[in-house]
Amino acid sequence: MDHTEAVRIKATERYLLDELDVATREEFEEHLFDCQECALDLRAGAMFVEQSKVALTDAPAPARQAVGAPAKPGWFAWLRPAFAVPAFAVLIAVIGYQNLVQVPHLTQAVNQPVALPYASMNISTRGTVPTQVTIKPEESFNLFLSIPPDSTYSAYNLELHNPAGSLKWALKIPASSPDDTRSIRVPGDGLGEGTYTLAVTGITTSGQNANLGNYPIDVKIQK
């Protein structure tokens, strides 16, 4: 999925509302690794949802009915002025703050050039010597991955496993030629020190999977 397609199907909004089917959801999650704009939109949307929950939870409850008064339907009680006005006032304040302060600040930060650490890896090189990279706490880094062109494969699947062996993320990339070197941005969120493993699988034109190797990445945290 590219950015144009994500905008066309309103992927961010539908992702937050859990309206995407499984296949589209996985494609959008893969797209988030490479698209900072969509990642920013998703973060802003998630913040709005969380703030909405807080606002609605903290809003004052409607006054109790007098003893003997007939019961009222409860499903739309939150629309009553005593409840809705304070809640929506908070929501408007949240939206205004995000539009005037947070989103412009985050957008400016995204548009600024950043010098990230990097590591290079050639999957045709067999061996046990890990690729090394030193990062600051929670800092992302770029992984330059060189995949020798092979007409046997139409795509590749990348899986990063943490030092405990658990899957951290997976990414499917199409094959290209003659130079199949990719720049993969590895998110720094939750990235601790230790030896990670990048499992590379080639996907043939007939849909079969072929294990192309497991490659260690030794992550050091700068003190």
pLDDT at 112: 65
At which residue do the structure tokens 């309103």 appear? Answer: 10
How deeply is 133 buried, as exposed, middle or buried, from its count of CB atoms within 10 A (0-12, 13-18, 19+)? Answer: buried
Confidence of residue 91 (pLDDT cuts 50, 70, 90): low
Q: How confident is the model at residue 124 (pLDDT cuts 50, 70, 90)?
A: confident
Q: What percent of the chain has pLDDT over 70?
A: 67
In a domain, residue 122? The reply is yes
213 and 148 in a common domain: yes
Q: Give pLDDT, residue 79.
A: 47
Same domain, 207 and 130: yes
pLDDT for residue 215 is more than 60? yes
Instruction: Decide: pTM greater than 0.85.
Output: no
Highest mean pLDDT among 86-90, 153-157, 160-164, 201-205 belongs to 160-164
Say how far residue 97 (Cα) sits from the centre of its chain. 23
- Its domain, for residue 106, covers 3-64+74-111
Same structural domain for residues 91 and 162?
A: no
11 and 44, same domain (yes or no): yes
**Same domain for 173 and 80:** no
Instruction: Let me know: does 87 contact 101? Beta carbons within 8 Å.
Output: no
The domain spanning residue 171 has which CATH number?
Answer: 2.60.40.4070
Q: Identify which has the larger pLDDT, 94 or 147.
A: 147
Evaluate whether residue 147 is within a structural domain.
yes
Contact in structure between 130 and 218 (CB atoms under 8 Å) = yes
Q: According to the model, what pLDDT value does residue 78 have?
A: 45
Domains held by the chain: number? 2
Query: Do 159 and 170 meet the contact criterion of CB atoms below 8 Å apart?
Result: yes
Q: Please say if the pLDDT value at position 132 is more than 70.
A: yes
Q: Nearest-CA neighbor of 124 among 1, 13, 213? A: 213
**Residues 33/79, Cβ–Cβ less than 8 Å:** no
> By CB neighbour count within 10 A (0-12 exposed, 13-18 middle, 19+ buried), where does 111 fall?
exposed
φ, ψ at 98 (rounded to 5°): -65, -45
Q: What is the arithmetic mean of pLDDT over 26-34?
A: 82
Kindly state whether residues 59 and 102 are assigned to the same domain.
yes
- Please say if the pLDDT value at position 94 is more than 90: no
Would 69 be classed as within a structural domain?
no
Nearest to 91 by CA among 126, 58, 128, 132: 58
Q: Where are the alpha helices (DSSP H) in the chain?
A: 3-8, 11-16, 22-32, 36-58, 81-97, 103-111
Instruction: Return the amino acid letter for 170.
Output: A
Looking at the structure, tell me whether residues 146 and 203 fall in a common domain. Answer: yes
What confidence score (pLDDT) does residue 179 get? 61
